[in-house]
Chain A
Amino acid sequence: MEIELNDSELAQQIASGSSQEVEAELFSRMAPRIRLYGLRHLWDSHAADDLTQQVIITTLEALRSGRLKEHDKLASFVLGTCRMTALDLRRNAHRQERLLQQFGVSLLTPAEPHTPSLDHDRLTRCVQHLKERERTAVVMTFYNEQTGAEVAGFLGVSEANLRVIRHRAIHQLRQCMGVSL
């Protein structure tokens, strides 16, 4: 069954005691967003999966119990929960096990969002076509997430100028790759 509700309406339905199908819909929408947050802040796909499970559980718990009253603030609630859970995950690895025992794992299989595939040869040509400074800037920045100050120092430009160089290069690369990778 296709559920055509916005996030707020979905939250409302869950709060009023909906079917597992509606909760599954919330999971399928929110899990990829939470996982992205996890990848960005925890830098590990397994930790991002753990974060996804725990945040979904906390969100469902809050909706079922009526703790989340303003349903149009669902995104803010989930983001805030992500922040706290990410901190907690770093501190306490045992909490996940307890929550999983309480809720079971049937609903909580981490979603695998679509990952764009990349044409390696095309990317090689696109990167090689960048101007020398642009190529150096993006490779040094993306290879090991070097700080702006390090890369700017090497290029002999300000961090603001480096940002302009990097942004221009990213736009050119996306265009060269056909925008959607």
Chain B
Amino acid sequence: MICPDAIDAAILADYWLSLLTASEEENVELHLFECDLCASRLREVIALADGIRNLARSGSLRMILSEAFLDQVAADDVRIRKYSVPAGGAVECTVTAGDDLLVARLMANCTNAARVDLSLCDERGIEQVRMPDIPLQPGASHLIYHESITFAKAMPSNKMIARLIAFDEAGSETLISEYAFNHTRSMPGPAAW
């Protein structure tokens, strides 16, 4: 089966999300009533959308989120464990079997940075993961870091250091602030990785 006017999957995603104009939507819908190939592609997009939604609910992603998004998730009866850490501060933290999501509100002033990276380090300060060019809401006094709950539930007691690193236009690095997470394991499991 071949469709000479196949609709791009990203356009189908926009259709599914109601992000097309009325005339674009009409064209897509008429095509979908004539083309099973594109309808099948739309089903793939729907499956992808459902998969991403389930993934977000499962808390297994490591990412930066907005405050508004967190409010929406909380309204869906998702149990969120939250920590707020001041710039240069430390927090005693844990995660329990009943937690669905784990977030840390990192207080920081990133207004003058062209780009900001979040560096996750072990207790010796050696970088383990870097999240380059993280999204930052303009003018915000903090960012919300969402840690994978799957990872956190498996993690033994340890210390993790998070660093926010700014890049200027010339590309030179500056430490904005550092945050220490003293994690105590409260679920059964191994004492070390």
What residues of B have a CB within 8 angstroms of the CB of A133 in the complex?
A: 133-135
**B52 nearest in chain A by CB position:** A142
Q: Is the CB of A156 within 8 A of B34?
A: no
Q: A124-B60, A174-B48, A181-B47 are in contact. Are A156 and B137 (CB under 8 A)?
A: yes
Q: Does A47 contact B (CB under 8 A)?
A: no
Whole-angstrom distance between the Cβ of B164 and the nearest chain A Cβ: 13
- Of the residues A135, A154, A163, contact of B14 by C-beta under 8 Å: A163
For residue A128, CB closer than 8 A to chain B, the reply is yes
B1 at the interface (CB under 8 A from A): no
Q: With a CB–CB cut-off of 8 A, which chain B residues contact A117?
A: 47
Contact-residue bracket for chain A: 35 or more
Interface string of B47-68 (1 = CB under 8 A from A): 1111111111100111111101
Task: Give per-residue flags for A122-159: 1 if the beta carbon is below 8 A from chain B beta carbons, else 0.
Answer: 01100110011101101111111110101001111000
Q: Is residue B193 within 8 Å, beta carbon to beta carbon, of the partner chain?
A: no
For the complex formed, measure the closest distance between the CB of A163 and the CB atoms of chain B, giving whole angstroms. Answer: 7
| B contact residues around A174 at 8 Å (CB) | 9, 44, 48
On whether the beta carbons of B63 and A154 are closer than 8 Å, the reply is no
Q: A115-B43, A145-B17, A156-B135 are in contact. Are A127 and B52 (CB under 8 A)?
A: yes
Q: Tell me how far the C-beta of A170 lies from the nearest C-beta in chain B, rounded to whole angstroms.
A: 5
A180 B44 Cβ-Cβ under 8 A: yes
Q: Which residue of chain B has its CB nearest to the CB of A32? A: B39
Q: Which residues from A are CB-within-8-Å of B39?
A: 32-33, 36
Residues of chain A within 8 A of B154, CB atoms compared: none
B16 within 8 A of A: yes
CB of B3 within 8 Å of the partner chain: no
Which of chain B's residues have a CB closer than 8 A to the CB of A17? Answer: none
How many residue pairs link A and B with beta carbons under 8 A? The number is: 145
Query: Is the Cβ of A170 less than 8 Å from the Cβ of B13?
Result: yes
A167 to chain B, nearest CB (A): 4
Cα distance A113–B41 in the bound complex, in angstroms: 12
Contact B34 A75 (CB under 8 A): yes
Q: Smallest CB-CB separation from A151: which chain B residue?
A: B66
A79 at the interface (CB under 8 A from B): yes
For B138, list chain A residues within 8 Å (CB). 156
Q: How far is the CB of B22 from chain A (nearest CB, A)?
A: 12
Is B187's beta carbon under 8 Å from chain A? no
Q: A33-B36, A124-B61 are in contact. List 13 more A-B contacts (CB 8 A).
A: A33-B33, A114-B43, A118-B51, A127-B52, A128-B61, A136-B63, A143-B56, A144-B72, A150-B68, A154-B137, A167-B13, A170-B13, A181-B47
A-B contact pairs, 9 of them (CB 8 A): A33-B32, A36-B39, A132-B131, A136-B64, A136-B135, A153-B137, A163-B14, A167-B10, A180-B44
Contact surface of B with A, Cβ cutoff 8 Å? 8-10, 13-19, 29-30, 32-34, 36, 39-40, 42-57, 60-66, 68-69, 72-73, 131-138
